[in-house]
Amino acid sequence: MVHVNVFDTTLRDGEQSPGVNLNQLEKIEIARQLERFGVDIMEAGFPASSQGDFESVRAIARTIKNASVTGLARATKADIDVSWDALKEAEEPRLHLFLATSPIHMKYKLNKTPEEVMNLAVEMVSYARKKFPQLEWSAEDASRSDLDFLVKIIEKVIDAGATVINLPDTVGYATPEEYGSIFKYVKENVPNIDKVILSAHCHDDLGMAVANSLAAIQNGATQIEGTINGIGERAGNASLEEIAVALNIRKDNYPYTTNLVLNEIKRTSDLVSRFTGMAIAPNKAIIGKNAFAHESGIHQDGVLKHASTYEIITPELVGVKSNSLVLGKHSGRHAFKDKIEQMGFQLSAEKLMEAFVTFKQLTDRKKEVTDEDLFAILTDVQTEVMDVKKYELVAFQVQYGSANLPTATVALTTPEGIRVETARTGQGSVEALCNTLEALVKEEIHLTDFQLNSIGQGRDALAEAHVKMTVNGTPVRGRASAQDVLEASAKAFLNAVNRVFFNQKIAAQETALT
């Protein structure tokens, strides 16, 4: 069995998904879960892209102990220096340096000749290797590059100090046969290729990212790159959970191992989906809610007789559990603390009490409190900023009837601690509520997207609201959960607004430090 390293880029390439904007607390929570999931390398961000990304990468580098933390850098000394400052405190600092090698990219994007690109690659790898013990070099758009040029530049960057060579299918253009043949050609024609790890990074523009990744492994790649839930630029990246389960279920065809803990898949997937606001399609392989559902009578009969008739993957393999009652309204704080620790959460005493109070309130209104409910409560509490002045919901009321104009009345406390109250109308109850909140908030608001999902099943299921808006011209996302859909909507609206204050506080702290 050949071991394959897993390089997760959820926090970098995944966060580049349109509309996704994670704050530092959310990134750290995802990083901790990726560590539990067992990824070998974690791409925490692009440190030179912004001060916020720099701080997040540095915080993750300081936090993660059981995975190598890396950051993306362009082929410039400035990017390399900034990346080193962000990553130097990591257990194993690593740099991911990229430079385009396809004719179309070199001509139209870089405006450089192949020789100039080769010289720049060697120069920057040599410079970066003086700082970083591990250095991955990516030939951007490798799948559309000239193979002879690719062989030459790879040989030179290996001599310059690269420890990993990545051959990305940057625009998702390759077929499995084509992509696999690139790795085979490089393995056979680069004389010093045995000194490095070969890595595959695939995009899903034609729906072949997972198939291409598996083809790369079969042709010599011993590192695979991707994201949780397959999120990322355009159509996304290769889905790591799909690759992991494919390698496990089809060991007969793929004799390869990874360090991934498969029963952490569901939790990891849910966390990323919740924080990014990107819902998982019901028919999504491995983690979609229909992945283990059987509606056809023939299928149901077969599964009841023997699960393997129509289930090649057991729910337990990927961490899918039944929604049984986990805690009741008579459960005490100690039992609650034990349960959340079993779920992998580590809360401060203050946040533990906040979560416990929310849990108790929920048990008064909901017959069964499931793992999904607790997960929603805990992720809300864990990433809520306690010491930032913000808008808080005091009370609201919505009057609605088929013959009446919907009217919402809302009372808030402002960041200055002043109680304000007003009422507004709208074409629907949610619009009336948002119009009222917008009237009370001093900031300039433009709501661009609103989504409402159910957590669990049944008429008493929690509602989860996601909003996307601009606040004073800054794009932000907000989310919240509650048993009432309007309460979840109001809290998600304010959560988005309050993120601006958190970001302002972080920026002020960074300015003070510099």
Question: What is the number of structural domains in the chain?
Answer: 4
User: What range defines the domain where residue 300 resides?
Assistant: 291-320
Residue 91 inside a domain? The answer is yes
- 395 forms beta bridges with 411
Q: What is the pTM of this model?
A: 0.86
Mean of the pLDDT values across residues 119-148? Answer: 98
Assess whether 66 and 100 both reside in one domain: yes
CB distance 495 to 488 below 8 Å: no
DSSP letter at 281 equals P
* CATH number of the domain to which 7 belongs: 3.20.20.70
Please give the single-letter amino acid code of residue 145.
S
Displacement of CA 26 from its chain's centroid (Å) = 9
Assess whether 64 and 136 both reside in one domain: yes
Residue 408 inside a domain? The answer is yes
Residue 215 has pLDDT above 60, yes or no: yes
Please give the single-letter amino acid code of residue 124.
M
Assess whether 363 and 495 both reside in one domain: no
Share above pLDDT 90 across residues of the chain, in percent, rounded to a whole number: 69
Residue 222 inside a domain? The answer is yes
Render pLDDT for 162-214 as a digit per residue (tens, 0 to 9): 999 999 999 999 999 999 999 999 999 999 999 999 999 999 999 999 999 99
Assess whether 152 and 62 both reside in one domain: yes
Closest by alpha carbon to 242, among 229, 255, 258? 229
- Residue 92, pLDDT score: 95
Assess whether 345 and 436 both reside in one domain: no
**120 token code pair:** 């720049």
Could you tell me which residues come within 8 angstroms of residue 407 by beta carbon, excluding any fewer than 6 positions away? 398, 399, 400, 423, 424, 425, 432
Assess whether 265 and 337 both reside in one domain: no
Render pLDDT for 306-322 as a digit per residue (tens, 0 to 9): 566 767 888 899 998 75
- Residue 458, pLDDT score: 77
Q: How many Å is the Cα radius of gyration of the chain?
A: 25
**Cα distance between residue 416 and residue 391, in whole Å:** 9
- Residue 362, pLDDT score: 84
- 369 forms beta bridges with 327
CB distance 479 to 492 below 8 Å: yes
Which of 29-33, 154-158, 295-299, 352-356 is least confident?
Answer: 295-299
Assess whether 339 and 483 both reside in one domain: no
Assess whether 353 and 272 both reside in one domain: no
Assess whether 76 and 215 both reside in one domain: yes
Could you tell me which residues come within 8 angstroms of residue 54 by beta carbon, excluding any fewer than 6 positions away? 45, 47, 48, 82, 85, 86
* CATH number of the domain to which 484 belongs: 3.30.160.270
